[in-house]
Structures are given as structure tokens and as C-alpha cells.
Amino acid sequence: MFKIEQSAVQEGMDEKSIIMEAYRTLGANLINQIGKEKSGIVVFTVPDEKTNSVSVVQNLASVMMEMGRKVLVIDAELRNKVLTRESDKETAEGFAEWLLGETSLQGATQKDAMRHFEIMPAGKKPIPAGILARKESENAVHSLKDVYDCVLVLTSAMDKTADALVLGQVADGAVIVLTAGKSRKQVAELAKEKLEAAGVKVFGAILSEYDVKTSTKLDGYYYMYKGRGKSADIR
């Protein structure tokens, strides 16, 4: 488990600096998990809709861009399309149309105006049931590694759909995003068990909305457990 050390606060770093430094460490660790010389796809999922993983993925994409990686963020969270709505791209073609073969990769992606990584919004159309599990969809998602260094995929809550399990099988691994004070350990462990049962490598879990300034116990803004052949722990 990686930690934000107490000394970082004592040396006068403000909360934003502490958090962004944590993201830089996490970004570097994810790159190491994938392989420094390789391109990779990472699925980000949440156990339930109490947690929103959008800001976590946006911050990670930003720090990976700082590291010289070409990054694509996909909104495959097809129920609520939070990233798509927050980016004001609800009328844009995106993931749905691209998987259906109705638009090109270039037509389905746009630059984030502020953060400069590329976004593939959810798209205007609903995706037919089962399309994510098709071999053609798997090949299409996997082909993104030929274009981007890091592909970060937002998926729907695991208690609502099996999308994270399906997309996780195409990805190099998955990260579970939790919310401090809201996510229950039992729910997080169940999410991890489901992913592993589906053959998805779990890179670890991130604890978001952790108050680094007021907490007396700085166990870290996030958790990242390295497995190397072993399952990740949720603690």
C-alpha cells in the first residue's frame, strides 16, 4: 500500500498539492503495472452508485499526460454518462456509435478543452444488450492500444451491470474506486471477488474524498495494492 506521508503535510504542502502528488504516484504505479514500454487499458469501476469515479480518472489522465503519455478516457458508464454530461458532450457521437461501426475513432473522440487528454463520450445511442461481449467489440477496444499509451475506461456501477466484468477481460486490469465514509468494506470485497471470478486482474483500489488535512490518521488519499500474481487486498 502506498501512503501520503505525514511529513508532506508538516512541510506546508496545501491539500491540492498533496492530492495531486498522490495521483502522480498512482499514475506512475499504474504505468509500472502495465509495463513502461507498453500501452495499456485500465478499467475503473465502482461497487455501487454512491461513488463517482469521474474526477479520479480525470486527475489520473492529467498526470499521465504530464508523464508524456498519450491518453484516452472512455465514458463506458452507459447508465448515467456522468463524464459525458460534465464535459457537455451529450449530443456528440462516441463509444456507442464507434462500437456499432457508425463513426470512426477520430469522429468518436474529442480533446478535453482544459486538460488536453482525449475523451470518447458515451455517445447518443443506447448500446444493444450483449454488444460489449462480442468479439468485434473486444478487438475494437484492444486496437486502441495501437493509438494510445493509456486508455482509461469508466464503467457503470457493478451492482447495476456486468459491463466492468466484460470490459475488464479486454483490459490489462481494473481499479475499484471507493468513497471515504460511504463505501462499505463488504461491498468493495464483493466487487473485487466478482472481477477476479471473471478473470479480471485487479490492480487495486482507490479511496477518494479522503480528508488529508483534518484526518489524524494519514493512511493515504488512495490505496494501491500491487499483486504480481496475487490478488489485491481491500483493507
d(CA 119, CA 107): 11
Question: Which among 130, 127, 152 is positioned nearest to 141, based on CA atoms?
Answer: 152
Residue 132 one-letter amino acid:
L
Domain residue ranges in the chain: 36-201
On whether the CB atoms of residues 95 and 120 are closer than 8 A, the answer is: yes
Model pLDDT for residues 87-117, shown as the tens digit of each residue: 888 889 999 999 999 999 999 999 887 778 9
How far from the centroid of its chain's Cα atoms is residue 199's Cα?
Answer: 18
The CATH code that applies to domain 36-201 is 3.40.50.300
> Where is mean pLDDT largest: 4-18, 22-36, 123-137, 143-157?
143-157
Residue 48 pLDDT > 90: no
d(CA 143, CA 23): 27
- pTM of the predicted protein model: 0.84
d(CA 109, CA 106): 6
Question: Cell numbers at residue 177, please?
Answer: 474506486
Task: Name which of 49-53, 182-186, 195-199, 215-219 the model is least confident about.
Answer: 215-219
Question: Cell numbers at residue 134, please?
Answer: 462480442
On whether the CB atoms of residues 9 and 212 are closer than 8 A, the answer is: yes
d(CA 2, CA 6): 13
Residue 13 pLDDT > 70: no
User: Percent of the chain, pLDDT > 90?
Assistant: 43
DSSP letter (8 states) at residue 135: H
Q: Report the phi/psi class of residue 199: left, alpha or beta, with left for phi > 0 and alpha for psi in -120 to 50.
A: left
Average pLDDT in the chain:
81
